[in-house]
Amino acid sequence: MDPVAVDLAPLDGILARYPAEESSLIQVLQDVQRHYRYLPRPALERVAKALGVPLARVCSVATFYKAFSLVPPGEHVVHVCMGTACHIRGAPQVLDELWRRIAPDANGDTADRRFTIKAVNCVGACAAAPVVIVDGRYHGGVQATKVAKVVGLEEGGRAS
C-alpha cells in the first residue's frame, strides 16, 4: 500500500499526451515515473483502464524494467556506476562500503526511507571514474574512503 494518498490529477495531463492504446504504455509509465518518482499503484490501475491494457500486463511491464519502481524512492537517490571504467577503478569497493554503512534492503532502500542506492551501468563520465551520482549530481573520483562524505553521511557532504 502507498504510505500517503496519491494525487492522481496529474495523470490526466500525462494520458492526454498519448493515444489511448497499448503501444503508449511504456511512454506513459515513463512519464508517471518521472512525475511521482515511482509508479503508485492507483496510477497503474488508472493507466490500465485508460489505455485498455489488462492490469496484469501493466504490472508485468512495470516490474520488468529497471527504470521503473513500484515503491517510492528514499529522500536521496544514489547511483553508483558499475561500468567497466568505474569497475576497474574501484566501484565494487565503493558500493560495498556504501552498502555496509547504510544497510539497505535488497532493493537498495533504507528502512528510514532516507536513501535509495542503485548500481547502474556506465553513466558516460568514464574519465572521472569511479562515479557516484547523488540526487542527479555527478561526483568523480569517489573512492570507497570518500563515499560516505559524498552522500552526506559525514561532515562536508552535499546531500544531508
- 56 vs 127, beta carbon nearer another protein: 56
Does 150 engage in binding with ligand FES (CB under 6 A)? Answer: no
Return the one option of ligand FES, another protein, none that residue 56 interacts with (CB less than 5 to 8 A, by type).
Answer: another protein
Q: What is the torsional sign of CA 4, 39, 28, 75?
A: positive
- 41 vs 87, beta carbon nearer another protein: 41
Are 47 and 58 in contact by the 8 Å Cβ rule? The answer is yes
Beta strands of the chain (E only): which ranges?
Answer: 76-81, 115-120, 132-134, 137-139
DSSP 23: G
Closest distance between another protein and the C-beta of residue 57, in Å? 5
Helices (H) and strands (E) in the chain, counts: 7, 4
Q: Which stretch binds another protein (CB under 8 A): 50-58, 81-89, 113-121, 145-153?
A: 50-58
Closest distance between ligand FES and the C-beta of residue 120, in Å? 8
Residues with Cβ within 8 Å of 55's Cβ and at least 6 positions away in sequence, in order, are 44, 45, 48
Q: Which stretch binds ligand FES (CB under 6 A): 33-41, 64-72, 104-112, 126-134?
A: 126-134
Which one of residues 59, 71, 153, 159 is an interface residue with another protein (CB under 8 A)?
59
Question: To which H or E segment does residue 69 belong?
Answer: none
- Residues forming contacts to another protein in the complex (CB under 8 A) are 41, 44, 54-60, 63-64
